[in-house]
Structures are given as structure tokens and as C-alpha cells.
Chain A
Amino acid sequence: MDLLKITNLTKSFGNKTILKNLNLTIKKGEIMGIFGKSGVGKTTLLRIINMLEEYEKGKIHFQGQNIKTRKLELQRKMAMVFQTPMLFNESVLSNVIFGLRVRGIDRTSAKKRAEKMLTQLGIKEFDKNASELSGGEAQRVVLIQAIIIYSDLLLLDEPSANLDEKNVKLLEKIILDLKKQQNTTVLIASHDAKHIKNICNKVFCLKNGKLSQVKT
């Protein structure tokens, strides 16, 4: 079954149409990339899928259920990393375990999972306030915040924007591991095709409100 199926999606802001009859199907376990120039609507598309933005026309089905407005139960099956990382004004650790804690996972096991992932990504100061992190560190922390949930669908909006080459490689490894271990489906948006072509099974270009496949 398709994990996500979008048919004839149309979205406008005011009189400016961003997405026009867009279609997209994602199967479970796929790692899919979308690239396109700045302002074409990549973020908008990801936000619609994540139920943070409404749309006028079309149909979106996630795990067979219709997505229109926010449904907690579906929201909890996805995780999204925003383009501009924003962390809560609290420790790195508390930030990272938030998604687990709201799902009722106890602090001790959440902490254990978090510390392992943070260490893996080279962040050692768990108790530091998140506002004191560098841009690249913050980017890695928001990534962990999302992947730690082990969601069915991971939406990454420009995840490599603040990362150096070494961390980009690390990010790619993490995504591939996730796919291997959890069979997580991943959708990555980037303004540059070269950021995504390495790890994605499928790559689409977003232009004039529509997607066209460039790699299979």
C-alpha cells in the first residue's frame, strides 16, 4: 500500500498559486527527494503533508486516511524537521526527548535513547541550554528531536543547510541506517539537487506547482 498519496493538490497564498494539481505517491521505505528553486513551494508542500497548512483542492491520503486538518493520531506517525531550526528554551536533552515524553514514554528510557543519539552525532553537552548551541549543532539537535520518535514518515526540510561536509555524510548515514533498521520513509526537500541525489531512491523537481521525476 502507498504510505502517502497526493492527488491534484492545489494550494495558493492569496491570489498566488504555489502548487497546481500536484501528484505524488510515496511507498513505504522509500527515500524521496524534492528539489527546486527558492520559493517554488517545497516547504509549503511538506507543511501541508504535516498538517500545518491547509489546502484548497485535491486529496491527500496518509496510511489510507484522509489528511485535511490536524489529526493528532496521524501527526504522531510523522516527524518534521523545519528549515529554520527552532529549539525550546531548555536543555538539549529536554528538547530531544520532547516527542517521546508527549507520547508517554518515561524519562529514563527516553533519556537513554537520546544520549546515545546525541553522542553519535557529536553532541556531548546534554544539559546545555539549546540557545547556546552553534547553528550546526542546533541543526543536528532538531534532527535528533525528529528521528528519535521512530516515525513512519520523516519530513526533512533542507536538513543539510547548516552542516559541514563531515556532518552531511553523517546525516546521510543516519538516514540510511534509519531506513535499514526501522524501514522509515523519508521525504527530503532541498534547493539543490546535489544534496539529495546521493541517498534518495527517487528525485523529483518542483517547478510551476508540479513535480516531475528526474531519477528512478
Chain B
Amino acid sequence: MGVFLESLIESFKLIFYLDKEVLSITLLSFKVSLTAVILASLIAIPLALLISNKVFGAKKILISIIHTGMALPPVVVGLIVYMFLSRNGLLGYLDLLYTPKAMIIAQIIIVFPIIIGISLSALNSVKKKIRETAITLGATKFQYAMKTIKEAKQGIVTAVITAFGRAIGEVGAIIIVGGNIRFHTRALTTAIVLETRRGEFAIAMALGIILIGLAFLINFTLTHIQQKKVELWTYSK
């Protein structure tokens, strides 16, 4: 019990005094995961819409692949990205290993299938009649797409929430490709691993609390968006 109390006090201290290192760690975690989720969403959501609109033979296989991708072990993703980015790797010349960019790349790969998979099931549940209503009322392809996305909004935001949760709490991939370098690629999760190994349980726990707090903040914002009524920007001819 003592450790918990101690770490709780420690975490409030760290937050209260805005410890420079903790701040940099927190910001990096936030930046990497948010960037990965946003970039992945920008491609995954339109792609999910495309897949849900099309009828083709290999659709079942494709969906199975996506679902498998949702369960991709982050360590394996980290390993693969590492091999591509390492000096002798195919993309070694980009010199990205042990940078936040490498961490973002790894996390994009992790969250991409999650966003596609959940968005796709949300989009598929938009009834054919609803889609046809938009068409018969004269929607352009773009207006039709926006309407479908709007109808599936709840599920799509769930996809983004799930993806962000996965990204911010993920450690296996970013520790491999980021290298956990102080003031450079050290994120909340990788710092927790380090502090725990060092026996600094209070600091580790404090970082854990910050991590959970951050996740809550993001989820709260996204849930707010999810429940809000939105007028989508669809109505330019």
C-alpha cells in the first residue's frame, strides 16, 4: 500500500511542478500516437467506405486479412519496421531509425487495420435504403460518401477511440524502433518499462497515472464528438 500512496504523491508532484522530462515524455507520447491515428484515419476511413461500397469476389478474404491485422502483435510490427529502417534495410537510407517518425510509422501500421476493420463494420450497417435515399435525392458521389460516413459516425468514432487507446498504450513496437532515447524517443510506456526495471516504482506508477489521464482526456473529447450532432460540410455543389 505504501508504494501506491507514495507513487500517487510522486505523480502529483511531477505533474504539479511540470517536470521538464515528464513533460517531454508526455508530449512525445501524445504527439506520436495522435499523429499516427490521424494519418491512419485519413486513409483508412475512405478506404473502408470504398470497400463497403464495392462488391467483389475477394471481399471476404480481404476482410479476414484486415481482421487478422487488427490482432497484429506490436512487437512483430516493431521488428519488421526495424528491419526496413535499419542501416542495411530497404529504407535504411531514410535514416529514420530511433526517431519519433519511426515510432509514428510503426503505430500507423498497428492502428490502420483497427480503423479500417471497425469503420467497415459501421459503414456496412448503414442500410442500402438509406444510401439509396441519398442517391435518389440527388447527392453527388462526394455528398453520398459524406452522408454514409455521417450515418456511421458512432461506429467510426469508436474505431478512432479504439485505435488511439491501442497506440498510446503500446510499447512493444516503439521501444524497438524508437530506442527509448531520453528527450528524443522516450514515451510514457517505454519510460514506465525503464523506471520499473530500475526499481523506481513510484516514478513508473506516476507515469502510468499520467498515461491513463491522457487517455481519458482524449476519450472524453472523442466521445463528446461522437454524441454531438454534426452538420457535415457536404453541401457545396
Contacts and interface: CB of A to CB of B under 8 A. Distances in A.
B136 A102 contact: no
Contacts of A104: 235-237
A75 B231 contact: no
A70 interface: yes
A86 B137 contact: no
Interface residues on A, range: 20 to 34
A103 B134 CA distance: 12
Nearest to B229: A90
A72 B140 contact: yes
A188 interface: no
A94 interface: yes
Contacts of B10: none
A88 B237 contact: no
Interface in B122-146: 127, 129-130, 132-140, 143
Interface in A182-211: none
Contact of A86 (B127, B140, B234, B237): B127
Interface residues of B, number: 22
A89 B153 CA distance: 10
B234 A102 contact: yes
B52 to A, nearest CB: 17
Nearest to A129: B229
Given A82-B129, A86-B129, A76 B236 contact: no
A102 B135 CA distance: 10
A9 interface: no
A104 B138 CA distance: 11
A146 B138 CA distance: 10
A101 interface: yes
Interface of A: 50, 52, 70, 72, 75-76, 78-80, 82, 84, 86-91, 94, 98-99, 101-104, 142, 145-146, 149
25 contacts: A70-B135, A72-B138, A72-B140, A75-B135, A79-B137, A82-B133, A82-B136, A86-B127, A86-B130, A87-B133, A88-B133, A88-B134, A88-B147, A88-B151, A98-B147, A101-B234, A102-B138, A102-B140, A102-B143, A103-B138, A103-B237, A104-B236, A104-B237, A142-B133, A146-B137
